[in-house]
A and B are shown apart, each in its own frame.
Chain A
Amino acid sequence: MATTRRRTKAQEAQSNRPSADELLGYYRDMLLIRRFEEKAGQLYGMGLIGGFCHLYIGQEAVVVGIQAALEQGDTIITSYRDHGHMLAAGMDAKGVMAELTGRRGGYSKGKGGSMHMFSREKNFYGGHGIVGAQVPLGTGLAFAHKYRGDRKVNACYLGDGAVNQGQVYESFNMAALWKLPVIYVIENNRYAMGTSQARASAGELYQRGSAYGIPGRVVDGMNVVSVREAAEEAVAHVRGGNGPMILEMKTYRYRGHSMSDPAKYRSKEEVNKMRSEMDPIDNLKRILVEQGVIDEERLKTIDREVKEIVTEAAEFATQNPEPDPSELWTDVLIEA
């Protein structure tokens, strides 16, 4: 099971340096996302997952680092590259994978698929397929936090493609105007589908809120410790009633935009260089080993545990029955 690495008050009181246990937890959570996505890719290749399937491989440090800075009750919303966000939020791998295969045991009973899942328990608000459309929703979640006075924040993820949608700026203005508790996490993986950031976006993305007075910060999104550190600062700012903040995560997706994308718009060398030099999981592992936090035996144990979770999820997702035909007509509207 994926664990949610939320910090206790005692931990918060200490310095920003993550403990060895925390680092191990991040390593495990990132590895779970990586292995989960690899398995999803395999199942897709075998024809067991249809439709869209946007893999998160390469970007794992972003969600794990952000999640580490959130507390119970904070809400999360994202777009369609969402499997990692759900696992990081603590959602059950079986339910996520079964949704990818369109089975009744999936989070959305097989009616949502890869892009559309939700968990009230984990405060995960989807899973949205229209680029940028989750940003007004996240702003509305933040509005609800403020209206209720619950001192919770919303983490609203968007990509480097979504930053060019108009409704994002309507939301920025509202959030700044009303000092809403929302962190806009721009996951800049450098490609909006097949179009590079340079070919689609003028200026710097972290500055996209500057006209509204929204502070922005660039973060090494390939380093979970950097992400956590920036996220903690942003959460403190936002929870303190100072209005929204933008974090631009410089990250990279190793796979294509979706499973049908051969990714010919970039070179193999570019991808290989990122994988070999910048990989968030390999780099953290190296640090953990060098610092003596972890030995080979412990690494193997974690690998095995993660593999078991993913294997179990895949088995569930392929053996669980498809939805009953009657489900076609349920959940459209509640009769009233």
Chain B
Amino acid sequence: MTGMSETTYRDALRQALDDAMGADSTIVVLGEEVGRYGGAYGVTKGLIERHGADRVIDAPISEAAIVGAAVGAAMTGLRPVAELMYVDFLGLAMDQLANQAAKIRYMFGGQVGVPMVLRTQGGTGRSAGAQHSQSLEAWSVHTPGLRVAMPATVSDAYHLLRHALTLPDPVVFIEHKALYTRKGGLDPAAPDAPWGRAVVRRPGRNVTLVAYSRMVHSALEAAAALAEAGIEAEVIDLRTLNPLDMETVAASVTRTGRAVVVSEACLTGGVAAEIAARIQEDCFDWLEEPVIRVAGEDVPIPVSPGLEAASIPGAPLIADAVRMMLP
């Protein structure tokens, strides 16, 4: 299939898995409800019919063993896609991810890698409550030896996953539950940008908004609102957090002189803090204002829709932060 077509984030992910499995018999999908049920969010629907129960494997509710078995299989050269239904369940599998998957190449002196993908989803937006709505990417970003991808667009959902399924190292691939039904264009033959490169989603000269995952869309919404007031915000979609493309960020900030880092994850100790620190280190002489983080509140995620929405940044908050920075 070639050429651009309109599809959803969910269908793009499924197509990526389907196409990758068709091209590479070492890929197996392993997780809770990935087979007959079709995935809790429907991403793996139909894969078991197309690729068989030997390759699309319904696992018991055993996150540590799902991830651990994927690590062991990956060491032999298989390419497992282990699925965690919610990123919040990472706590159950964190030993296998952080102590095994991330360490194996280094502690064995480079003799063996772990070419697996840990697919999961996080974030708010469905009143899923404190144990099913978190943004825990910082756990993985803070662990050397892991790649981390967080697609914001339909096209990236496909292309970043396809690319992740070619990498020699473990990739934590974090989808956003509120993006599954989002529509967008996809050309399977044309990725947005190479893996590891950030993309400027909207050009602007007054301020740089750095975002990833769903917050890219909130930042774009804020930029549209600001444009009506004559403020031109540049919006950067990081796409991957490891690699972290600070070159693209710095190229923007050295032009605009102002940076806002937007993240749905809670503020303290988050990825936004790391990015803000790097901007400050890389671009200090160009900055007109201190770098600002606009991030989630330091609270567990509440269920009630009003409270839930208030726990994370929205476009108005991002726009307010920008206005505060400008003279």
Contact = CB atoms under 8 A, between A and B. Distances in A.
A77 B109 contact: no
A333 interface: yes
Interface stretch (B66-74, B245-253, B316-324): B66-74
A108 B145 contact: no
Contacts of A106: 109
B110 interface: yes
B62 A173 contact: yes
Interface string A114-148: 00111110000111111001011111111110010
B34 to A, nearest CB: 14
B72 A140 contact: yes
A127 B111 CA distance: 13
A130 B64 contact: no
Nearest to A136: B68
A174 B67 CA distance: 12
B62 A141 contact: no
Interface stretch (A59-67, A163-171, A236-244): A163-171
B99 A130 contact: yes
B181 interface: no
Contacts of B109: 106-112, 118, 331
A167 B62 CA distance: 8
Contact of A170 (B60, B73, B108): B60
A137 B72 contact: yes
Interface string B52-96: 001000011010110111111111111010000000000000011
Given A166-B64, A170-B65, A173-B62, A133 B72 contact: no
Contacts of B108: 107-108, 112, 116-118, 126-127
A311 B95 CA distance: 38
A330 interface: yes
Interface residues of A, number: 45
Given A332-B145, A334-B113, A108 B107 contact: yes
Given A111-B109, A118-B112, A133 B99 contact: yes
Contacts of B43: none
Contacts of B166: 336
A331 B145 CA distance: 9
Given A144-B76, A332-B144, A174 B65 contact: yes
B150 interface: no
A136 B96 contact: yes
B161 interface: no
Given A136-B72, A173-B62, A334 B96 contact: no
A111 B74 CA distance: 21
B325 to A, nearest CB: 35
Interface in A161-215: 166-167, 170-171, 173-174, 177
B168 interface: yes
A333 B65 contact: no
Contacts of B65: 136, 139, 167, 170-171, 173-174
A168 to B, nearest CB: 9
Nearest to B196: A336
Nearest to A127: B108
Contacts, number: 141
B147 interface: yes
Contacts of A138: 72
A137 B75 contact: yes
B73 to A, nearest CB: 4
Contacts of B95: 130, 133, 167
Given A120-B111, A173-B62, A332 B72 contact: no
Nearest to B67: A136
B309 interface: no
Nearest to B82: A140
A140 B71 contact: yes
A120 to B, nearest CB: 6
A140 B68 contact: yes
Most buried by B among A116, A117, A137: A137
B62 A174 contact: yes
Interface in B168-203: 168-169, 195
A127 B68 CA distance: 15
A177 B61 CA distance: 13
B28 to A, nearest CB: 7
Interface in B286-321: none
13 contacts: A119-B111, A130-B95, A136-B67, A139-B72, A140-B69, A140-B74, A142-B72, A147-B78, A167-B96, A170-B64, A173-B65, A174-B65, A332-B105
Interface of A: 75, 77, 106-112, 116-120, 125-130, 133, 135-144, 147, 166-167, 170-171, 173-174, 177, 330-334, 336
User: 9 tightest A-B contacts by CB?
Assistant: A136-B68, A140-B72, A170-B65, A170-B62, A140-B69, A108-B109, A331-B110, A137-B72, A109-B109
